[in-house]
A and B are shown apart, each in its own frame.
Chain A
């Protein structure tokens, strides 16, 4: 159960990690003054009162960046085992990996050509 012993460490670490920043925040909560008033707690808007909804309409551009990132992320997930095993494989493995990356690069080139990657 070596794997689980390692991950028990990671698990305790993950539980402890938010505690370290929480500690000073809690201490600050005990020490600092608490004098909220209506003006202070307003949303910061450069001196002018808030107008309209916070949910302003966003551009689809953001979605496209997220989308391409998602596709590349999944591609990397499949490429990581390939990279780890690479030293044991032969030239055919390179061809398979090359074809895989090439297919994804096609999608990237399509995005270039359609000019969806440039920030407008």
Chain B
């Protein structure tokens, strides 16, 4: 979004052309990044309110109407709180880590298309940009853990980084499915490719894989080994206090909502409203879909118990990674065969509902088949291990 009218107006007003371009780009940046920064203030309130309701509490209700100003009260508290930097810490990297952590989440918003006409940039490599920027966050966590110069922090950072890199594999394989169906990495074009059918109906499995692994990427329950506050000390951010800790915290809250937005764009048709594409309605529609996904994420966070690290790793390497590879291959194979047979259009953006319907049905059924096969396999493995334990128990009982 570089406000074309503004640039021309400035240039006509006698401002140097380069400077005019810079000013219009700068204003665009401030507008685009304003959205996540305003959102995060309310996300913290929503998160606490929802968590409270699920746990049968009321939640913040003292500051302002419905406790809406609670976040500002928290902010003031963090602002005037003493901030300790341990003497043993590596000062430069210690202070840089929270900045990079927050920036890595805000940077994702540069490619988020809010409406058909309002977005930061429409990069040709949008999907890859998202993965690349998200990987900066991993490095920030590693740096935070190391720079604190604390055993717990370093160990926590190692576990988290191992978890994050592991879950990035199914994330990217799932991301590849919409990229392949749409034939582009640009976020805007991926949305237009869904004009007659959302990708979630073509590959629900990819959506679920993306959802699970992005939940893990944000370090939310059931994968919240980043800061299992009731068990470990606090993980990589143990030495942080005051506003710097607040930044890690805010980055996490914002990341969850950002994932909701990305999921909406990649699988739920973004701002595509069935009837008309008025910018305001498109924006509200995108926000509504993202909020529903965000709420589901909170719901899972507050109801599912935490997994152990070995279970988390096992779940990733022995379930998610093979399924994501299998899913990608299945979708690729079926799409290609149907395209060769003339059952599927080659350009989804131009296709009508009737043209994409056979393809959708077959892809959906293939996904269901994979899921059923998987569940059957899980059940038989579970039964085998249960039988093995029972046999072992009987053997010991007889031996006694």
Which of B106, B122, B179 sits near A20, CB closer than 8 Å? B106
The 8 closest A-B pairs by CB, nearest first: A17-B103, A119-B310, A21-B102, A28-B243, A83-B180, A69-B165, A87-B183, A117-B317
Q: Given the complex, which residues of B lie within 8 Å of A42, measured CB to CB?
A: 86-88
Q: Please give the residue numbers on chain A whose beta carbons come within 8 Å of chain B beta carbons, in ascending order.
A: 3, 5-10, 12-14, 16-18, 20-22, 24-25, 27-29, 31-36, 40-46, 54, 56, 58, 61-62, 65-66, 69, 72-73, 76, 79-80, 83-91, 93-94, 97-98, 101, 105, 108, 112, 117-120
Q: Is the CB of B173 within 8 A of A118?
A: no
**What is the size category of the interface that chain B forms with chain A?**
35 or more
Q: Please give the residue numbers on chain B whose beta carbons come within 8 Å of chain A beta carbons, in ascending order.
A: 1-2, 21-22, 25-26, 28-30, 32-33, 37, 75, 78-88, 95, 98-100, 102-103, 106-107, 110, 120-124, 127-129, 148-152, 154-155, 158, 161-162, 165-166, 168-169, 172-173, 176, 179-180, 183-185, 233, 238-239, 242-244, 246-247, 250-251, 309-310, 312-314, 317-318, 321-322, 325, 328-329, 332-333, 335-337, 339-340, 346-347
Beyond A13-B29, A87-B347, 20 additional contacts (C-beta under 8 Å) are A17-B33, A18-B100, A20-B33, A21-B102, A21-B247, A24-B75, A29-B83, A32-B79, A41-B85, A42-B87, A54-B149, A65-B162, A80-B185, A83-B180, A84-B184, A88-B346, A91-B340, A94-B333, A98-B332, A118-B310
CB distance from A104 to the nearest CB of B (A): 8
Q: Given the complex, which residues of B lie within 8 Å of A43, measured CB to CB?
A: 86, 88, 148-150, 239
Q: How far is the CA of A88 from the CA of B29 in the complex (A)?
A: 35
Q: Given the complex, which residues of B lie within 8 Å of A27, measured CB to CB?
A: 79
Q: Is the CB of B86 within 8 A of A83?
A: no
Q: Is the CB of A86 within 8 A of B332?
A: yes
Q: Given the complex, which residues of B lie within 8 Å of A18, measured CB to CB?
A: 99-100, 102-103
Q: Is the CB of B173 within 8 A of A76?
A: yes
Q: How far is the CA of A69 from the CA of B106 in the complex (A)?
A: 25
Q: Given the complex, which residues of A lie within 8 Å of B148, measured CB to CB?
A: 43
Q: Given the complex, which residues of B lie within 8 Å of A118, measured CB to CB?
A: 310, 313-314, 317
